[in-house]
Every structure is written in C-alpha cells, then in structure tokens.
Structure 1
C-alpha cells in the first residue's frame, strides 16, 4: 500500500524520462533523414518533407517510450505512486458511500444491453455489497421499437432479480447533447443522491469485485476525481474482431501500464468503464457549448477528455488503474464499422483544438487534447509526407541540372543513394513499431499458464506475427480513411452520432468495392508514379501499395465470423477470456442467448399487449416528456378517422408520448373486440 498523496514531484522524473527519450530518438531520426535528403543539397520541398517526418516520428517515439515505461512497470510488479490502496481489513469492510451505475443507450439491441446490466448486477450482488449501488438505464433511443422493447426488458429484469427500487429506466425524448447531455440530465435529476457515478457504455460489462474495488479506492482517496479501468475487447467472432481482441490482450497492458506510469494522477478518461466523484463532476464538469457551427462548434461530441480536464482543473486527480481488470467491451465487427466509429471520434477529437488554450487547464490536460488530435491528424500527415517525398523527387528531376539517369542514381536502388543510412532509419522505425509488440509477447510467454490459455507458445508467437502482417496491410487503408475524415471535418463535414454496429455479419463484396474503390485507385496511381519516377522506391512502398490494392479482400475476409471461428479452433488469436472465461462473461453470454420477443411494431404492441400498455403508461406518468403537437395532431387524424395511411416514425413517437391518445385507441380496440 502507498499512502503518500499524489504530488507533481512524483510524476516529474517519469515524464522527463519518457518525453526526453522520445525527443532524443526523434532528433536522431531527423538528423538521419536530413542527411539522406541533403546528399545533393536541400530544396524547399525536402525541408517540408523533413518537417513532416519529424512530427510523425515524434508521435511514434512517444508511443514507443510510453510502451517501454509500461513494460518496466509490469516487470517490476509495483503500483504507481500516489494512490492509497486498501489494507486487508479495509478491503473486507462494507462500503460507506453510494454509487449510481449508469448505462446510456441509443437505439441498441435491448436483449444485449439488459443482459450486460443483469450480469454486472448479479456480479456485484455476489460480492455482498449490492446495497451500495443503484442502476440506471438512460435511454436516448429514437426508434419506437427500441424504446418499447427497452421498457419490456427493464420490467423483466426487475422481475427476475428483484430489482424494483434499485434498477431504474428513464427515456428522454429530447436528445440534446447526445450522451453527454444524457448524463448531464441524470446528474441534474438524481445525481446528488449519490457519492459516485460509474459510467458504462451500451456494450460494457464489469466484474463485481472490480466495481467494488473502484468504489473503495474512491473512498480511500478523497482527492481522486476519476478512476478509469481500461476495458478489454471480448465477445466477438469475426476475424477482424478477434484480431482486435488479441492485439488488445497482448499489447493493451503495455500501453495502459505505460500511460499510468508516466501520467499518474494527470491521466485521461475514456468515457466509460470508469468511476467519477459525483459532487465535483456536477459542480465543475458541465460542458460548454462551443461558439460557431459544427463540426467545430456546438455541443462537444467527445466529452470524456473535456470532463477529465475540467476535473483536473478543479484540483481532483484523474487516474488510469489497469491493475484492477474485470472491465470489458465489444470491438467493432469489421474494418468498415471500425472506420465508421473513427469518423465520429475524429470530429469529436478535432473539436478539442479550440480548447487546448482554455484558461486554467493543467499542462497534461492540454497534452491529452493534443495527443487526441494527433491520433487522427497523424494519418493525413503521413499521407502528405509520402506525397511530398514524390513531389520532392519530381522537383529535383525538373529543376536540378542533371540527367534523368543521374537523378535516378540518387534515389533508393541507385548507386549514389545512401542505402546503409536508409536501412538504419527503416530498422529504427520498424523496431519502434514492433518492440512494444514483442515486449507484450515476452510478458505472456514468461507466464506458462497464460501462454497455454492463449494457444501455447508456438501458436501465440505465430498469432503475433500474423496479426502484425494484417495490421501492416490495414494501416494504409486506415491512413486514407482517417485522412478523409480529417479533411472532411476541416471542410465542414458534419457526422451523425448514431449507434454503433455491433452484430457479426458478413460484408458483401459489392459494399467492400464501393467503400474501397478510391483506396485501390490511390494504390494504382502511387505504384505508377513510383515505377515511372523512382523504381528503386517500389520495394520500400510495397506494403502501402499492397494494402491499398487488397483493401476490399481484407475487409471482406476479416469480416467473416466463419474465419474467426476457424482460427479459434486452431488456437490462433486466442485470449484467456475465451479459454477460461470469467463468470460475468459467461453469465452475460447466457442471458444474451436467451434473447427476448422482438417488437416489430411498437405502437401496435403497446395497444394490443395489456402488460406493455400498462407499463408504458406508468412510465409516461413517472417521467413526463413533451411531445410534438403537430405530429400528434396529424397522427390522431389518421388513427381516429380509421385512415389506411401508415404513420410516420415521428407520428408514431408522438402517439407513444401521449397517454390520452393511447388510452383512447386501446379502448377502441377493446370495444371493437367486444
């Protein structure tokens, strides 16, 4: 146990070490690149190439040295300083504060959502500390069928676990502020009843002992404002998802431990699977509405970074606590779904550019904003770097007083090209990308039992190699996707903040070619330019070109659950949670497979099913919402006049919000049957 409270002095040497080594490595690589570019003098395009290279390499270097810090932290088996951990006596005692466990949802599958809620609820109950927790499902669903199905699933959950008075459901019809607005409305209405707020996503799942430990750490560390437990990807079968799950299990601990080791109490918050101190969250973390129009103005989309920064500005610490574990979520099922999620996150992170210089923020909070932006801007920077390199070569060809043969001799493969220097730079770059992978692999290989649960040492090493190859081929596709998202946001493109795709479904070839046709075209143009201008560079660019050419095939084949299950049967890309799954995962899977009766027509279901009708009216009375008078009037004319014209989604929702109309229609149906 470390009872010494957190102070900036604890973090200073760690940050000097990580940031200093990143700066030194970047300096060495930049000097090498400058030497390669200036063999025949330095042109203006080459200076631009060098600047882009330095910026991009700095991002790689920071990630690398953060991973090294994580490796050291894990090998030392020590906890980061600044947090007080419970003694054995304290860990056995009761919780003295109350926690609200909240799950915001938006047009999700109710069977899956409430299976996760029930599994988490039962897991906490098994610890003996259930009295310290209440559960809230906060619906922002706009589809009437999802809304009514949520009501029925909530009622059934309460009946099964005896959760009346402890599990609550609320749907709001005004979706202002998206998820952040949903949480803000909860805090305004019910927040002051609780000491802590545990935020889950619609696909989140948490083990009860981890939840109890989070609450206990908050009790023992009154200066802590947020404790974030990194979620582990689980529960999907497609090859793409299994690659994500495997990579997260091998490299995720290195990344999380590294961030925790050098950021300490100035860490970040990822929006879910985290516990927050309610009073300062309500008082200090209200989100501003940014001036101007979207995509940079309006409501803040990626609220988590901003809330962490505001909590830190208020004097409370923010911690990443990877050693707790027991925190799970589901990855996107395929590359296109992953890119769709990235598009939303990209716009949200780019909004943070306007907050970097906001008054009173901690320097690390500003750094988190910059790192969040850089996680997306790095892709267009690399793209511009590649294009600038070709432009610099063309500039040299057209404007330097030399023959084409002499010019080609200065390019990769030519006699005058510094092959040894280029190889040094390439080896350094590849090493910084692969060493964190190998460190993660080494930690697992050192644990015989863990390696066995991941397929054995040979198949584990083979899985790391195959995952690295597939990731390398996917990288140029994601580079173009993210470049498109960044440029689109800068040009004013606005994204819709819709629910994520979570089902395992095969991707049609037609859709893959439609979404990747421009990626393939870029690959063809890049290959043609390289062959025409600098054929010696073809080998250097071959991973990029092949990844772009193969983009549709990669998307189609990695989206197939059959291939993912085939790999699983052969011991590839296994994670321990599949071989010896924790009880909370087993329970969630059992409940999800039980399913629930689908709601095909929400209005008809509420009118024809007496239980659904009574429940819906009771919830309308408990949580009154404002309907849309125009849509309601139009719907009443159609329904009460017996018109055959179907209701629009807006009209159906308006009727479902009006108890008087529902009672009238229900009475008419009963009268007609009599």
Structure 2
C-alpha cells in the first residue's frame, strides 16, 4: 500500500527530469543542425528549417524521455506515488459506493455491443460485487434497424442474466453534442443516484476484478476525480489490426508507464475505460459550447481532455493507472478506417487551441491540450520541414554565388558536406524513435513466460522487426493524411460524425487507389525534386518516397484478415491475450458468435412481431409523440394510402417514435389478417 498523499512537490523532480532532458536533447540536436546548415552562412529559409526542426525534434525527444521514465518505472516494479491502494483486508470488503457503468452507442452492431455488455456484467458478477453496479446502454443510433435491434438485444440480455432493474436501455431522439451530450443527459437524469461513473465505448470490454479495483481506489482516494486504465487492442484479425495489437502490447506499457510516472495526479482522460467521481463531474465538468462555427466553434468533439482539465481545475486529481489491466478495446481493421477515426480526433484536438489559456486551468492541463494538438500538427510540420529543406537548397542554388558543381558539393554526399555530422544527427533521431521499442522488447525477452506466449523469443524479435518496417512505410502516408486533416480544419472543413468501421473486410484495390492516388503523386514529385536538386538526399528520403509509392498496396494487403491469420499461424505478431485469453475475452467472443434475431426492416418488424411491438411501445413512454411532425404526417399519408410508396429513413423513424400511429397500424394489420 502506498498512502503518500499527492502534492505538487511529489511530481516536480520527475517533471524536471523528463522535460529537462527533452530540452537538453533538443538543444544538442539544434546545435548540430545549425552547424550543418550554416556551413556557408545561414539564409532565411535555412533559419525557417531550423525552427521547424526544433519543434519536431522536441516532440520526439519528449516522447523518448517519457518512454525512458516508463522503462525505469516498469523495471523498478513499483507503483507511482500519490494513490492509496487497498490492504488485503480492505480488498476483501464489499464496496460501499454505487457505480453506473455506461456504454454510449451510435449505429453499432447490436450483437457485438451487447456481447461486451454481458461479458463485462458476468465478469463483475463473478467477483461477488455486482450489487454495487448498474448498467446503462445509452443509444444515439439514427438508423431505425439499429434502434429496434438494440431494444430486442437489451430485452434478451436482461432475460438471460436476470438483469431487470440493473441493466437499462435508453435511446434519445435528439443526439445533440454526440457522445458528450449523451453522457451529460444521463448525468442530469440519473447521475445523482450514483457515486461513480464508469464510461465504456461501444467496443470496450473490461474484466470484473479490474472494475472492482477501480471502484475501490475511488473509495479509498476521495481526492481522485478520474482513474484512467489504458485499453489493450484485441480481437481483430486483419494484418493492420494485428500490427496495432502487437505494437500496443510491446510498446504500450512503456508509453503508459512513462506518462503515469511523470504526470502522476495531473494525468489525462481518454474518454472510455475510465471511472469518474460523479458529483464533481456533474458540478464542474459541464462542457462549454465554443463561440463561432465549426470546425473550431460549436460543440466540443474531443470532450475527454476538456473534462479532465475541468476536473483538475476543481481540485480533483486525474490518474493514469496502467497496472490495473483488464481493459480492452478493438483497433480499426485497416489504414483507411484508422484515418477516418483520426479525422474526427484531429478536429476535436485542434478545438482545444481555444481553451489553452482558459482561466484557472492547471499547467499540466494546458500542456495536455498542447500535446494533443501537437500529436496532429507534428505531421504537417514534418512535411513542411521536408519541403522547406528542398526550398532552402533551391534558394542556395539560385541566390548563392556558386557554380552548380560547387553548390552540389555542399549537399549530402558532396565533398564539402559534413556527412559524419549528418549521420550523427540522423542516428540520434532514429535512436529516439527506436530505443523505446527496444526497451519494450527487452522487458518481454527478460520475461520467459511472456515471450513464450508471444511466439517465443526468436519470433518475438522477428515480429518487432516486421512491425517496425511496416510502420516505417505507413508513417509518410499517415503524415499526409494528418496534414490534410489539419489543413482542412484550418480552412473550415467540417468533420462528419459517423459510426466507426469495426468489422474485418478486405479493402478493394479501386478504393485504395482512389484514396491514395495523391500520396503516390506526392512521392513521385518528392523523388523528382530530390534527384534534380539534391541527389545525395535521395537515400535519406527513400523510406518516405517508397512508403508513398506503395501506399495503395500497403492499405490493401494490411486490410487482409487472411494475411493476418497466416502470420498468426506462423507465430508472428502474437499477443498473450491470444495464447491465453482472459475469461472475459473468451466469453465476449462466444456471445458475439451466437445468432441474433435479424431486423431487416425496423417498422415492419415492430408491426408484425408482437414481442417487438410491445417492447417498443413500452420504451416509448418518454416519447409520447414524434419530434418530427412533418415527417410523421408525410409517413401517415403514404401508409394510409396503402403503403405503395416507400418511406424515407426520416419518415420511418417518425412513425417509430409515435405510439398512436404504431398502435393504429398494428391494429389494421391484425384486422386484415383476421
């Protein structure tokens, strides 16, 4: 047990160490870069390149030293100070506070959603602490078929586990502010009944003992406002997803432990697989509507960072607790689905620029906002850095009093170029990127049992090499995607809120070529400019150029589940959760594979199936009349005319919201059948 209270003095030396070493590393790298650029004097474009390099290098230096802190934390095998952990006697006691487990959903696969709810519910029940928890599925689904299927799946779940009065389902017809608004409405209606709020995503899955430990820690630490448990990617078969799962298992612990080690009680919240203290969340974490129009104004998309900042401003601590484990989610199945999710996150994080200077925020909260922005802005900065480097070379060519031969001698590979210094700087940059990977690999190689569950030490090393090569090739593609997202947001492009793709599907070549054609063009232009201006830089830029040229092939082949499963059979890219899957994962998979009653036409299903009709009307108590009367009137005209003209999705939803129309239509159908 660590009962040392959290104070700023506890975190100060850790932050000085991490941030100070990151600053020193950046300073050294900038001195080296300036020496390389200033061999024949420094031009304005070269100063611009140096400034970009400083910002970009500082970002990777901070990530590196945070990883080093995580490695030391894991080797020491000690918990971070500041949280009080339960004694054995306390851990055996019943929980005294109540927790609401909420899962917001939006047009998801109901079979998968309720399989995860049931597996988590049963896992908590197995701990003997179920009386302290209630479950809520909060639907924002707009597709009528998803809506009706959710109702039937909820009813079946309650029947199977005896969850009446403990598992609740609510769909709201007005999904203002998306997930954040969904949670806010829940807190307004039912939040005061509970002490804590455990937030899950539609693909979240949590082991019961981890959930109970989270609630226990909240009971023992009244100053804690949020406890975030990092989720592990599991459950997908495509090569892209398996790469994500493997990378998260090898490097994820280093990253999470590092963040926890120097951020301590001023950590961040990622929006799911976390527990929050209900009273301060309701009182202090209401989200503002930003002034102006989207993309920077309006409702906040990335609500989690803001809620963590508001919780910290209210005086409550926010903790990242990676040692708890038992927290799972599913990765996107392919590169394009990953980019689609990143598009929304990018706009949400860039909105935080308007909140950095908000009054009363903790300095670490401001830093989290800036780090979130930098996680996307880094890509266009690297892109501008590459382009600016070529422009600086062109500037030297056109404006410096030198012949072409003399000019090329100053470029990489030329006689006057400091090749050793450049290689030293390049080696430093690569080291900062790769050493955290190697530290994660080293920890696994030192643990024989863990290495065995990941295919053995030899195949584990091969898997790290494979993941590193593919990630290197995908990096320039993501750099251009994220650059497009950032520039699109700056120029006013609004993101569309859509449900995430979660199923494994092979990506067609036509779609890959359509989405990546400009990436290939960019690779060709970059290669041509490099050959024309600075051929000695071609080897340096080859990973970027090759990655862009191969973008369609990378997307297509990494989307293949057959390739991912083949590598699994060969013992590559394995994670321990596959060799010895936890009980909650096994149960969720079993439940997801069970057949579920199909809902091909939501309205027809409600009108023809007596159980679906009765259930739907019972759940419409909070919607006595449709909220879209024009669509309802139009639908009634079509239906009363014999139903020859099909209903639009809006009309179908309007009918499903109106109990009187549903009862009338049901009665007419029964009369016709009689």
User: Aligned partners of 2:625, 2:182: CA distance in 1, in Å?
Assistant: 14
Establish whether residue 80 from structure 1 lines up as the match of residue 80 from structure 2. Answer: yes
User: Aligned partners of 2:236, 2:454: CA distance in 1, in Å?
Assistant: 16
User: Aligned partners of 1:53, 1:258: CA distance in 2, in Å?
Assistant: 24
Are the equivalent residues in 2 in contact too, given 1:170–1:623 (CA < 8 A)? no
Equivalent in the alignment of 2:663 = 663
Query: Following TM superposition, by how much is the alpha carbon of 1:643 offset from its aligned partner in structure 2, in angstroms?
Result: 4.0
User: Aligned partners of 2:480, 2:91: CA distance in 1, in Å?
Assistant: 49
Equivalent in the alignment of 1:423 = 423
Secondary structure of 2:104's counterpart equals strand
Are the equivalent residues in 2 in contact too, given 1:173–1:626 (CA < 8 A)? no
User: Aligned partners of 1:384, 1:622: CA distance in 2, in Å?
Assistant: 53
Pairing of 1:534-549 with structure 2 (within 5 A): 534-549=534-549
User: Aligned partners of 1:7, 1:185: CA distance in 2, in Å?
Assistant: 34
Are the equivalent residues in 1 in contact too, given 2:623–2:658 (CA < 8 A)? no
Equivalent in the alignment of 2:439 = 439
User: Aligned partners of 1:254, 1:173: CA distance in 2, in Å?
Assistant: 42
Equivalent in the alignment of 1:30 = 30
Secondary structure of 2:235's counterpart equals coil
Pairing of 1:446-457 with structure 2 (within 5 A): 446-457=446-457
User: Aligned partners of 2:27, 2:344: CA distance in 1, in Å?
Assistant: 34
Query: Following TM superposition, by how much is the alpha carbon of 1:625 offset from its aligned partner in structure 2, in angstroms?
Result: 6.7
User: Aligned partners of 2:74, 2:622: CA distance in 1, in Å?
Assistant: 50
Are the equivalent residues in 2 in contact too, given 1:118–1:588 (CA < 8 A)? yes
Pairing of 1:303-318 with structure 2 (within 5 A): 303-318=303-318
Query: Following TM superposition, by how much is the alpha carbon of 1:4 offset from its aligned partner in structure 2, in angstroms?
Result: 1.7
User: Aligned partners of 2:19, 2:483: CA distance in 1, in Å?
Assistant: 27
- TM-score normalized by structure 2? 1.00
Structure 1 unaligned runs (5+)?
none
Secondary structure of 1:298's counterpart equals coil
Pairing of 1:114-133 with structure 2 (within 5 A): 114-133=114-133
User: Aligned partners of 2:598, 2:70: CA distance in 1, in Å?
Assistant: 46
Pairing of 1:558-569 with structure 2 (within 5 A): 558-569=558-569
Are the equivalent residues in 2 in contact too, given 1:172–1:625 (CA < 8 A)? no
Equivalent in the alignment of 2:257 = 257
Query: Following TM superposition, by how much is the alpha carbon of 1:642 offset from its aligned partner in structure 2, in angstroms?
Result: 1.0
Establish whether residue 242 from structure 1 lines up as the match of residue 252 from structure 2. Answer: no
Equivalent in the alignment of 1:490 = 490
Inter-CA distance 433–638: structure 2 relative to 1 (3 Å threshold): same
Structure 2 unaligned runs (5+)?
none
Are the equivalent residues in 1 in contact too, given 2:249–2:575 (CA < 8 A)? yes
Secondary structure of 1:84's counterpart equals coil
Establish whether residue 64 from structure 1 lines up as the match of residue 31 from structure 2. Answer: no
Per-residue deviation, residues 198-248 of structure 1 (Å, max 9, x unmatched): 000000000000000000000000000000000000000000000000000
Secondary structure of 1:159's counterpart equals helix
User: Aligned partners of 1:244, 1:323: CA distance in 2, in Å?
Assistant: 20
- TM-score normalized by structure 1? 1.00
Equivalent in the alignment of 1:653 = 653
Secondary structure of 1:114's counterpart equals helix
User: Aligned partners of 2:152, 2:173: CA distance in 1, in Å?
Assistant: 18
Moved over 4 A (4+): 622-626
Are the equivalent residues in 2 in contact too, given 1:200–1:272 (CA < 8 A)? yes
What is the aligned-residue RMSD (CA, Å)? 0.6
Are the equivalent residues in 2 in contact too, given 1:2–1:82 (CA < 8 A)? yes
Query: Following TM superposition, by how much is the alpha carbon of 1:595 offset from its aligned partner in structure 2, in angstroms?
Result: 3.2
Equivalent in the alignment of 2:8 = 8
Task: Name which of structure 1's ranges 632-641 and 220-229 shifts more when overlaid on structure 2.
Answer: 632-641
Query: Following TM superposition, by how much is the alpha carbon of 1:641 offset from its aligned partner in structure 2, in angstroms?
Result: 1.8
Equivalent in the alignment of 2:608 = 608
User: Aligned partners of 1:196, 1:496: CA distance in 2, in Å?
Assistant: 32
Equivalent in the alignment of 1:140 = 140
Per-residue deviation, residues 66-108 of structure 1 (Å, max 9, x unmatched): 0000000000000000000000000000000000000000000
Equivalent in the alignment of 1:176 = 176
Are the equivalent residues in 2 in contact too, given 1:173–1:625 (CA < 8 A)? no
Establish whether residue 104 from structure 1 lines up as the match of residue 100 from structure 2. Answer: no
Secondary structure of 2:547's counterpart equals helix
Secondary structure of 2:226's counterpart equals strand
Are the equivalent residues in 2 in contact too, given 1:45–1:391 (CA < 8 A)? yes
Count of residue correspondences:
674
